[in-house]
Structure 1
Amino acid sequence: MKAVGLMQHGGPDVLRIVELPTPHAGPGEVRIRVRAAAVNPADTLIRAGRTPIRQHGTQPVIPGLDVAGTIDEIGPDTVTSLAIGDRVMAMINPTRAAGGGYAEWVVLPEAWVARAPAGTSHAEAATLPMNGLTALRALDQLDLAPGSTLAVTGAAGAVGGYAVQLAKAAGHRVLADADPRDAALVYALGADSVVDRGPAVAERFRALTDSGVDAAVDAALIGTPLLAAIRSGGSLAHVRDLPDRPAFDLAAAGYGVKSVKVHVHDYDGIRDKLDQLRQLADQKRLTLRVAESFEPERASHAHRLLEAGGVRGRLLIEFK
């Protein structure tokens, strides 16, 4: 089968087409004929060698955390409500031996796979699993009371956008930051107020509250400067490791703010969470945003675009 992988870490040009044996579903597994794989910032970190996933010997590293496609094989003795031909989506943990989702076929335990939202393209469905689960995991960990005030940074991005919409679906007041050019988009996602991103954003958030927001989802990885927006006893959820975690934790303690590290792979194989996202997408309460799609041979170009910044929605690799 055709896949996109790398034999050495580096810039986008290390990505290449590789031929791998076509996998087959074993007991408890299903096989997805992948039609779309999302390109995420985590994929660029894998490619650059900035994660624990390393290239060894002659086996290529295959990035990719999100896929959508159709079920085309069900393993022996697999008990599942899925059927051949069902349109599905899944989040993949690329640390597994078979690697990630930049491939024509992916085999997964059946509990890792959920039906795609109704009426969506494969590209749209592939934008939802990892980014949606990251935002959902953040909100689940924050465990806010209905009607709480939540600040979301990076609200025009994929994780931030889903965080805005999930928070609104849960009944919260949402304050968000954005470039002025993206303010209309973020309001359309449901934010109650949008402030300019950049220096002093914490002060702009705090000015909209009496004593600070109850919590923040820091999709933009602002870190320590954002603590000033949060009331004492509140929480800040960050979606990736911060550059100086000990200094951040010390500062958070000084503000009386709880630091919440979001591990999206805590939701590996928990189909109920993917189904929760699917249902919200079916209800049009989540917006699935595709920026642009590329053939596998142009995966390096997709990585370059993502790293250049300013992409709104997700870039996709589409397998015919």
Structure 2
Amino acid sequence: MSRAVVYETFGGPEVLELREVPEPHAGPGEVRVRVTAAGLNPMDWSIAAQPELAAQFGISLPSGFGYDFAGVVDEVGAGATGFAVGDRVHGGAQGRAVADFVVVGTPTEVTEPLWHTPEGISDEVAATLPVAGLTAAAALAAIDLRSGDTVLVGGAAGGVGVFAVQLAKLAGADVIGTASQGTFAFLRRFGAEPVTYGPGLADRVRALAPEGVTAATDLFGTETAETALALGVPPERISTIAAGPHPPGGARATGGFDASPDAMARIADALLAGTVTVPIAATFPIEQTRDAVALQAARHVHGKVVLTLRPDPH
């Protein structure tokens, strides 16, 4: 037997249970990963709480939990390619990541990717990259962000936001990030000029950027996209990740699945070079998954929340 976090009804953190489940094994063309860390994303607990959203991701009850994971390959099925026992890896497994073992196919798919983890990047950091890192990269690629841009980033202190801010700075852009007052010092560490979200945002942005904003990405809802339109930013230079398939004013909807094939390698290189860092706000053992989800769902955490897994002593 092995352990996995599962839920049998939709709801808040209270529906998540750590259970003993049959140990999965790699079949033909598959590899099994012993998971050592799983990064949490708002998508995870939103899916667990909202049946309609779960259906969009093909998830039905009962379900496992989480998407981002990192660990070590410990089984390789017949015909599986690209990975060997002992390889450190990170990737995505929809509704299965928070478990002792994850089985994924090879060659890996866009929806459930698997990458080798470079030496110098910890499993805890690697487990934060698939959703947040790729979503940030896609959000900036969708607006063709380039050196000299002044970009407005909505939700800049969130899990995706901290990647977007750093990748935008790396591209040579000036960054204005919407956030709550309590996160201003945190955002300035990454080179962003923070601005309070809410009514009057457009006026506050004009004061910070009198020469104008040239691009924007909204990582939370629609406020930043609507503000950018009001400031005269062309819709093709505005991206959204959480506004549904039809963002305001013809802005571009995108997500991690749209990231370029080399995006993860570029993020890994930046991490190794020290030009991008991942702020991990808190780590919890798998036994405290409910507490970890409750912390993140409160939206007051600065950075990523990661679950750690150690082999079951039994």
Q: TM-score, normalised by structure 1?
A: 0.84
Residue matched to 1:127: 128
Residue matched to 2:71: 69
Contact persistence 1:202–1:227 (CA under 8 A): no
Q: Which amino acid aligns with 1:101?
A: A
Residue matched to 1:310: 300
- Per-residue CA deviation, residues 286-315 of structure 1 (Å, 9 max, x unaligned), is 211212222222211212112222011222
Structure 1 distance, partners of 2:188, 2:59, is 43
Contact persistence 1:135–1:160 (CA under 8 A): yes
Contact persistence 1:30–1:71 (CA under 8 A): yes
Q: Which amino acid aligns with 1:17?
A: L
Confirm or deny that 1:15 pairs with 2:12: no
Aligned residues: 299
- Per-residue CA deviation, residues 131-157 of structure 1 (Å, 9 max, x unaligned), is 001001111111234322211121111
How far residue 240 of structure 1 moved from its aligned partner, in angstroms, is 1.2
Q: Which amino acid aligns with 2:254?
A: V
How far residue 8 of structure 1 moved from its aligned partner, in angstroms, is 0.7
Residue matched to 1:160: 161
Query: Do the aligned partners of residues 190 and 234 (structure 1) sit closer, same or farther apart at CA in structure 2, a change above 3 Å counting?
Result: same
Which of the residues 255, 259, 263 maps onto 1:263?
255
Q: Which amino acid aligns with 1:265?
A: F
How far residue 33 of structure 1 moved from its aligned partner, in angstroms, is 0.8
Structure 2 distance, partners of 1:79, 1:238, is 35
Residue matched to 2:92: 91
How far residue 75 of structure 1 moved from its aligned partner, in angstroms, is 2.2
Q: Spell out the pairing of 1:120-269 with structure 2 (5 A cutoff).
A: 120-191=121-192, 193-210=193-210, 212-223=212-223, 224-232=226-234, 235-241=237-243, 249=248, 252=249, 258-267=250-259
Structure 2 distance, partners of 1:67, 1:232, is 37
Q: Spell out the pairing of 1:9-88 with structure 2 (5 A cutoff).
A: 9-50=10-51, 51-53=53-55, 56=60, 60-80=62-82, 82-88=83-89
- Per-residue CA deviation, residues 106-150 of structure 1 (Å, 9 max, x unaligned), is 112343211224333322221122100100111111123432221
How far residue 15 of structure 1 moved from its aligned partner, in angstroms, is 0.6
Query: Do the aligned partners of residues 46 and 231 (structure 1) sit closer, same or farther apart at CA in structure 2, a change above 3 Å counting?
Result: closer
Structure 2 distance, partners of 1:205, 1:104, is 46
Query: Do the aligned partners of residues 55 and 126 (structure 1) sit closer, same or farther apart at CA in structure 2, a change above 3 Å counting?
Result: closer
Contact persistence 1:155–1:161 (CA under 8 A): yes
What is the SS of the residue equivalent to 2:169? helix
Structure 1 distance, partners of 2:201, 2:23, is 49
Structure 1 distance, partners of 2:261, 2:211, is 38
How far residue 271 of structure 1 moved from its aligned partner, in angstroms, is 5.6
Contact persistence 1:113–1:271 (CA under 8 A): no
Q: Which amino acid aligns with 1:67?
A: F
Confirm or deny that 1:279 pairs with 2:261: no
What is the SS of the residue equivalent to 1:4? strand
What is the SS of the residue equivalent to 1:150? strand
What is the SS of the residue equivalent to 2:63? coil
Aligned-pair identity in percent equals 36
How far residue 234 of structure 1 moved from its aligned partner, in angstroms, is 5.2
- Per-residue CA deviation, residues 82-109 of structure 1 (Å, 9 max, x unaligned), is 33222221123x2xxxx33111111123
Contact persistence 1:115–1:278 (CA under 8 A): no
Q: Which amino acid aligns with 1:260?
A: R
What is the SS of the residue equivalent to 1:24? coil
Structure 2 distance, partners of 1:165, 1:157, is 12
How far residue 285 of structure 1 moved from its aligned partner, in angstroms, is 1.8
Taking only aligned residues, the RMSD between alpha carbons, in angstroms, comes to 2.3
Structure 2 distance, partners of 1:286, 1:86, is 24
Contact persistence 1:123–1:318 (CA under 8 A): yes
How far residue 283 of structure 1 moved from its aligned partner, in angstroms, is 1.2
**Unmatched segments (≥5 aa) in structure 1:** 253-257
Confirm or deny that 1:108 pairs with 2:104: yes
Query: Do the aligned partners of residues 233 and 104 (structure 1) sit closer, same or farther apart at CA in structure 2, a change above 3 Å counting?
Result: closer
Structure 2 distance, partners of 1:100, 1:79, is 22
Residue matched to 1:255: none
How far residue 26 of structure 1 moved from its aligned partner, in angstroms, is 3.1
How far residue 68 of structure 1 moved from its aligned partner, in angstroms, is 0.8
Structure 1 distance, partners of 2:23, 2:232, is 50
Q: Which amino acid aligns with 1:172?
A: A
What is the SS of the residue equivalent to 2:54? coil
Structure 2 distance, partners of 1:26, 1:127, is 27
Contact persistence 2:144–2:237 (CA under 8 A): no
Structure 1 distance, partners of 2:292, 2:14, is 11
Contact persistence 2:213–2:228 (CA under 8 A): no
**Unmatched segments (≥5 aa) in structure 2:** none
